[in-house]
């Protein structure tokens, strides 16, 4: 049985991962290099100097990982496909062995009764495309749609629910403005070009997926509730909201970049960049919306950048906005993110009101410093409390009328956490990096009990 979007009668559950974070085997079976291979090799790019070349070795151990999902009792598994495995040079030749991996993964999931949902782009851009300008270049959007169709043609008979991009805000602004994610460029306001090309790539792919008969095309955003601290100028708070939320939802819902977006991103008024028809293509192109939520965003009063000092990377991730500070209240997780379930409730209600789309919480979870397994157990009570609080917040949003269909835990396995390397553990299953042993944590057992009764 292949399944579509959950019907929402009850909240459906799932768990999520991403290709570069778990697969490893980065040179197996003809995979081409990605921007994350290149970026992670730069000294200082990741906290522990490590990369995704081994990660959780899920490329080889996927049957074990699928068994963990099936035993957990989740209905859905959200995974991403590595573009450089399927089209190693970004455009042109297709690598059948790369497609073969996802074929086996999908079949194994279906055999075990877990519904796969695929994400085409979770940040592992083929390096060959970055060498030609990456997301700053319009051609990348067309290359993305071509690659998505290659993958869909192979898997679409069994995978019905698809997302184009994961968190394009990170791809555009952490990648091309703050430079803390691959490709590690600091292009200031030019990063808004990347945002437009990501929007365009979504629109082009969605159109072709729909033509091919796909009914459940979505996009996953890390939208955020913006909660300004006292003393924050209204224009700064608006700018943060523009870059984080409206640069994505405006095209999707209204087919336009609004005035507040154009104020901080004047390049989006350039007809050479935003061409006739681009925004119409994006408008109404999603059948569902994925919302990833971890923490609220609290902009604070604007501070002048001290002479000779680097601006805070988070400030650089909002080019064109006055240099605001960002505040984080207690309690925090191990990665330093504030725990605030009310942010998720507000975000879901607001996202549904704004888009009218069915929503899946495509990621939510927490990093805690649970390195050690004691007597075969990892006691992650903090994570259980985090998940419990956020599931309750999701249920409150549903009760308030938000059409939220699923809650998908980030993440199944402790994995490569981007710039943090392996120093932040988000998994409900512990990984021993030396042995690759997988040990379900207390949070896994807790969720299993909740799902299986």
Q: Can 417 be counted among the known catalytic residues?
A: no
CB of 427 to ligand FCB, least distance (A): 11
CB of 234 to ligand FCB, least distance (A): 27
CB of 412 to ligand FCB, least distance (A): 12
Rounded to the nearest angstrom, the gap between the alpha carbon of residue 21 and the centroid of all alpha carbons in its chain is 11
Nearer to ligand FCB, 248 or 257 (CB): 248
CB of 257 to ligand FCB, least distance (A): 23
DSSP 29: G
Q: Are 74 and 448 in contact (CB under 8 A)?
A: no
Beta bridge partners of 439: 430
Nearer to ligand FCB, 142 or 326 (CB): 326
CA quadruple 348, 352, 355, 358: dihedral positive or negative?
positive
CB of 41 to ligand FCB, least distance (A): 19
Beta bridge partners of 291: 221, 361
Q: Which residues of 417-433 are buried (b: 16+ CB within 10 A; e: fewer)?
A: bbbbbbbbbbbbbbbee
Choose, from 23, 346, 363, 417, the residue flagged as catalytic: 363
Nearest to 66 by CA among 80, 53, 55, 79: 79
Q: Residue 150: phi, psi to the nearest 5?
A: -60, -45
CB of 15 to ligand FCB, least distance (A): 12
CB of 325 to ligand FCB, least distance (A): 21
Q: Can 167 be counted among the known catalytic residues?
A: yes
Task: Give me the residue label for tokens 């997780």.
Answer: 333
Kindly compute the dihedral angle of the four CA atoms of residues 254, 259, 261, 264, in this order, to the nearest 10 degrees. Answer: 170
Residues lying near ligand FCB in the complex (CB under 6 A) are found at 18, 21, 166-167, 170, 222, 292, 363, 410, 417-418, 426
Cβ burial, residue 70 (10 Å; 0-12/13-18/19+): middle
Nearer to ligand FCB, 257 or 407 (CB): 407
The encoded tokens of residue 149 equal 């169709």
Nearer to ligand FCB, 223 or 357 (CB): 223
Question: 3-state DSSP helix/strand/coil percent for the chain, to nearest 5?
Answer: 45, 15, 40
CB of 368 to ligand FCB, least distance (A): 12
Nearer to ligand FCB, 127 or 166 (CB): 166
Q: Are 330 and 347 in contact (CB under 8 A)?
A: no
Task: Give me the residue label for tokens 């519904």.
Answer: 115
Task: Give me the residue label for tokens 């419990």.
Answer: 388
Choose, from 95, 130, 167, 417, the residue flagged as catalytic: 167
Cα separation, 25 vs 31, whole angstroms: 9
Cis peptide before 183 (omega within 30 of 0): yes
DSSP 84: H
Cα separation, 335 vs 366, whole angstroms: 8
Nearer to ligand FCB, 38 or 119 (CB): 119
Cα separation, 414 vs 197, whole angstroms: 31
Nearer to ligand FCB, 4 or 47 (CB): 47
Q: Are 407 and 395 in contact (CB under 8 A)?
A: no
Cα separation, 261 vs 253, whole angstroms: 14
Nearer to ligand FCB, 17 or 232 (CB): 17
Active-site residues, by number, are 167, 363
């Amino acid at each position: 049985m292949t399944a579509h979007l959950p019907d929402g009668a009850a909240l459906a559950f799932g768990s999520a991962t991403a290709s570069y974070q778990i697969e490893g085997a980065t040179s197996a079976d003809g995979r081409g290099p990605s921007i994350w291979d290149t970026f992670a090799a730069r000294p200082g790019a990741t906290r522990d100097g490590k990369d995704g070349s081994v990660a959780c070795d899920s490329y080889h151990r996927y049957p074990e990982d699928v068994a963990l999902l099936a035993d957990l009792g989740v209905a859905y598994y959200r995974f991403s496909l590595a573009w450089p495995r399927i089209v190693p040079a970004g455009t042109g030749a297709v690598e059948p062995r790369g497609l073969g991996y996802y074929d086996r993964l999908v079949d194994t999931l279906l055999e075990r009764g877990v519904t796969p949902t695929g994400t085409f782009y979770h940040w592992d851009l083929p390096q060959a495309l970055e060498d030609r300008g990456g997301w700053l270049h319009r051609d990348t959007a067309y290359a993305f749609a071509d690659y998505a169709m290659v993958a869909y043609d192979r898997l679409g008979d069994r995978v019905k629910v698809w997302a184009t991009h994961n968190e394009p805000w990170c791809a555009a602004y952490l990648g091309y403005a703050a430079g803390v994610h691959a490709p590690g460029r600091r292009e200031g306001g030019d990063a808004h070009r990347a945002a437009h090309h990501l929007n365009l790539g979504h629109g082009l792919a969605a159109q072709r997926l729909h033509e091919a008969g796909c009914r459940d095309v979505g996009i996953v955003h890390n939208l955020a509730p913006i909660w300004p601290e006292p003393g924050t100028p209204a224009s700064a708070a608006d700018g943060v909201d523009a870059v984080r939320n409206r640069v994505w939802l405006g095209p999707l819902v209204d087919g336009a970049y609004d005035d507040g977006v154009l104020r901080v991103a004047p390049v989006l008024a350039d007809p050479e960049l935003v061409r006739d028809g681009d925004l119409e293509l994006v408008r109404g192109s999603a059948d569902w919306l994925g919302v990833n939520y971890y923490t609220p965003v609290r902009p604070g009063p604007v501070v002048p950048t001290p002479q000779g000092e680097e601006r805070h990377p988070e400030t650089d991730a909002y080019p064109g906005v006055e240099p605001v500070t960002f505040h984080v209240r207690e309690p925090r997780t191990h990665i330093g993110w504030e725990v605030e379930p009310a942010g998720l409730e507000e975000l879901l209600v607001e996202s549904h009101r704004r888009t009218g789309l069915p929503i899946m919480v495509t990621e939510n979870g927490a990093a805690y410093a649970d390195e050690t397994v004691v007597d075969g157990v990892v006691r992650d009570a903090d994570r259980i409390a985090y998940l419990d609080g956020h599931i309750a917040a999701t249920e409150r949003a549903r009760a308030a009328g938000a059409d939220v269909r699923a809650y998908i835990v980030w993440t199944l396995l402790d994995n490569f956490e981007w710039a943090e390397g392996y120093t932040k553990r988000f998994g409900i299953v512990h990984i021993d990096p030396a042995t690759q042993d997988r040990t379900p944590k207390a949070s896994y057992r807790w969720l299993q009990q909740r799902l299986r009764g």
